[in-house]
Amino acid sequence: MKSEQLHISRDCFLRAFLDEWRAVLSRDWDIVWGAYKETRTWTEFMMPYGAFFDRTCKRLSLTYYKELYSIDAAFVGGEDLFRSDLAYPSQVHVLLEHENGPNVEEEMWKLLHWRCPLKVLVFYDYPEKSTSAPSLSGWGAQKLKALEEMRQKVVDFLPEHEAVTYLYIIGQTTSNESIRWWSATDNSSQPEPLERI
């Protein structure tokens, strides 16, 4: 399918994300876990060209740009509006912010002010370190509530197109030194495990 005709849905993005995650897990877990334990190393594992999110983007047949106008990454397609290599694309399919610390709201602010049909925010539950889903009383749930309040304030000022979706992916450390992924959207009240998708 040509990227001009492509709309990346939440489920399509999550499938690509999970496929890449499974590909990573099929390699050497010790390398993955070693990277995950250090903030800077994990960001380098996830964000650079050729790394996790770039490979996820390729699974969607899109072009990956990171830190594009202070956005961590954009999955783009369409045609060049000017210049080349889709540096100024006609279509931004997915905006991605990756927060590897507690300042999730800073990343959300960036997503709120760009036009794009799918806005993805990946963050982690470091304060919880629990083995269950982020609960309504937990740190992750508090962050989700704060993000939704931020979104609503911006939408009250300038409504977004009804097709816009915010996808939150939460990485959670479990007691057996593994990472479990959860997702929620701006329309969901509780995170759900990615394995259900």
- Residue for token digits 């959300």? 108
pTM over 0.85? The answer is: no
* pLDDT (0 to 100) of residue 191: 83
Determine contact, residues 68/99, Cβ cutoff 8 Å: no
pLDDT attached to residue 189: 67
**3-state SS track over the chain:** CCHHHCCCCHHHHHHHHHHHHHHHHCCCHHHHHHHHCCHHHHHHHHCCCCCHHHHHHHHCCCEEEEEECCEEEEEEEEEECCCCCCCCEEEEEEEEEECCCCCHHHHHHHHHCCCCCEEEEEEECCCCCCCCCCCCCCHHHHHHHHHHHHHHHHHHHCCCCCCCEEEEEEEEECCCCCEEEEEEECCCCCCEEHHHC
pLDDT at 6: 60
pLDDT in tens, the chain (197 residues): 344 446 789 999 999 999 999 999 998 889 999 999 999 999 999 999 999 999 999 999 999 988 766 889 999 999 999 988 888 999 999 999 999 888 899 999 999 989 999 999 999 876 545 545 444 347 777 888 899 999 999 999 989 999 999 999 998 877 677 888 989 998 776 788 887 55
> In this predicted structure, what is the pLDDT of residue 141?
78
Joined together, the tokens standing for residue 16 give 């690509």
Q: Residue 168 contacts by C-beta under 8 Å, 6 or more apart in sequence?
A: 120, 121, 122, 123, 144, 147, 183, 184, 185, 191
| pLDDT at 69 (0 to 100) | 62
